Amino acid sequence: MLNTRALLLLRPLRAGPRSRLRSGHGVSTRSYSDEAKVPDLSLFPMERIRNFSIVAHVDHGKSTLADRLLEITGAIQPSSGNKQVLDTLQVERERGITVKAQTATLFHSHAHTRHAYMLNLIDTPGHVDFNYEVSRSLAACQGVLLLVDANEGIQAQTVANFYLAFEAELAIIPVINKIDLKAADPDRVAAEIEKLFDIPASDCIRVSAKLGTNVEQILEAVIDRIPPPRGDATAPFRALLFASEFDSFRGAVARVMVRDGAVSRGDRVRTHSSSTSSRPRDYEVSDIGLLLPLPTPTATLYAGQVGYLVCGMRQVTEAQVGDTLHSAAHEVEPLPGFKPSKPMVFAGMFPSDQSEYTSLRSALERLTLRDSSVSVQRESSAALGAGWRLGFLGLLHLDVFQQRLEQEYNTSVILTAPTVPYRAVLTSPRLIKEHGSADVMVLNPCELPDRSVVSHYLEPMITGTIITPDAHMGAIMKLCQERRGTQVDVLYMDGARVMLRYRMPLCEVLVDFYDILKSLSSGYASFDYEEAGYEPVDIVRMDVMLNGKPVEELTNIVHRDKAHLVGKEMCIRLRDSIPRQMFEVAIQATIGSKVIARETIKAFRKNVLAKCYGGDISRKMKLLKRQAEGKKRMREVGGVPVPRGAVIAVLTRSPARSPD
């Protein structure tokens, strides 16, 4: 049995400079620690292992708490400069949010039994757009720390994270953070937790992650309240691949939670997806280890342990998140993974210069390996060239993905206006046969079937949760009604705050809903949503015409009641973006054959009367008539070139200002 003396082996590891950890973008780019400094992992049976995550609303102190846990267990040296140690991406440090779930293995001796335990911590994102990262992390855990701000109390994402953990049947330890603040009211927050989540207030641990107050109690609670992982140490090797990254030299670096058996360097392994294919492929494990939090090679990973594994997977499609890795010598049942993500926001992505298409494609392949919640389909545009239509979980997710492309891969991209996935129920037998189904998903506005062959359209709905001071409840309820929302529930959490639940169309909250919500509530309201199926909707396809010719890139899907307003705005933007021509240019927004908005770009006009100083008026009229006929011929035979900048000005969305 391993006691606290064995932990002394880890002390040289603590002095490693943290700057090395921050310089990389994940496992594959960090510096490595010495294998000799790691204790014998075979001395940690599953009864001495705890796998847990930290979940919370945005800015409730997850990363700060992770820093203190790393310091207390000796993974890093205590320092005032320890801020967001596990947040290694540049975008995470710039925005102050967690985007990518990070793993760290901690060693801690129980205060009473003096037994040493291995604690595998996964720091998860807090924003709704990165819920997929949270669900992936929870699949490798047996418990969570539900972190709540002692000042702000329970927020919308707190509720969402609680139900994620509750549905996964994980042990939940409520932790009230920031008790050092003057306005902190931990008693009120504990009462809220008991009322909403049915967890006794006495079970809440009150801490200050910033000062380290009572943080050691969390480690004791993790050992006492979270069960050990389930598995069979004597069975053939089987592990869940819950995250992966790409290294230019070694290929895919998989993060795994070993469920059964053990895996060592030199072992032959296989993915379950490969086993079920016609040509199974085996891989040889070349590197394996723990994250302490620096990648630290070990000889073997045993049942219940979490670490990284490199086995020569060179294609991004070989390391599928949610797949089961197992011994190549044995056929095993796949582990239950997790519900795949469903993109809720789609946007076109094109290289700024078509000569950069190949490099952007390579960057997309590698980044989508790290972020498997992004869907990718090829797309082409007459104005923007070849590109892709990408699916994201939300606007912040889209923003962060674009920023990571630019920062980590030095690419420059054009991102078109975001849309939501509509559905069309067809009535035409020919189209039903062509699509293979009467229910067709519409991701591109140009592909929306005509109303004459459709019985009805469907739009995606959400159930939104808003927590706000009751003084702002009236204005927020009015906003939800204006966005075609239907009230589902109203719950008073205490004497000053209320939780509203509304069913609304996703497209109504896509762009500016959060900004307006924050404005109406003076910044105090929080918002979270979950998908809630589809409902029939009256939508139309709006085309933009230049002198009677449609511009495919500007086609849009809008609700019929808002078509005139949207069309007018697009026409004005185009009028201000397209250069004047030698002939008049008519910009029209149309629904079918009906024009709903129009703007005109006046033509350049030469003063053909300048040489006339008097005389008969018929001479002047003849010159004006000849000029008009010439411009008419020019308009008929001359096309209107749509500059790339004009398309970008109309389509490119404003940066999403979601909570970060």
Tell me whether residue 351 is annotated as binding: no
67 known ligand binder: no
User: Is 646 annotated in some ligand binding site?
Assistant: no
* Closest alpha carbon to 132 in 243, 26, 52: 243
Asked whether residue 115 is marked as a ligand-binding residue, the answer is: no
Residue type present at position 379? E
Phi-psi region of 96 (alpha: psi -120 to 50; beta: other; left: phi over 0): left
Residue type, 13: L
Is the bond preceding residue 334 a cis peptide, omega within 30 degrees? no
β partners of residue 208: 213
Burial class (CB in 10 A: 0-12, 13-18, 19+), 568: middle
SS3 283: strand
The answer to whether the annotation marks 45 as part of a ligand binding site is: no
Residue 125 is assigned to a ligand binding site: yes
Task: State both tokens at 301.
Answer: 């990973």
Tell me if 538 is assigned to a ligand binding site: no
523 is in an annotated binding site: no
56 labelled binding-site residue = yes
**Residues 528, 541: Cα–Cα separation, whole Å:** 29
274 token code pair: 């490969």
Short-list 224, 19, 54, 229, CA closest to 125: 54
Is 645 part of any known ligand binding site?
no
3-state helix, strand, coil in the chain (%, to 5): 35, 30, 35
For residue 179, say whether it is annotated as part of any ligand binding site: yes
Contacts of 513 (CB under 8 A, 6+ apart): 479, 483, 527
Residue 177, marked binder: yes
**Is 83 among the annotated ligand-binding positions?**
no
What are residue 157's phi and psi, to 5 degrees? -70, -25
Task: Tell whether residue 63 is among the known ligand binding residues.
Answer: yes
Place of tokens 């705890």: 50
Phi-psi region of 198 (alpha: psi -120 to 50; beta: other; left: phi over 0): left
Q: Is 642 annotated as a binding residue?
A: no
Write the DSSP assignment of 15-42 as a string of letters.
TS-HHHHHHSSSGGGS----GGGS--GG
Binding site for GTP: which residues?
Answer: 56-63, 123-127, 177-180
Annotated binding site: 56-63, 123-127, 177-180
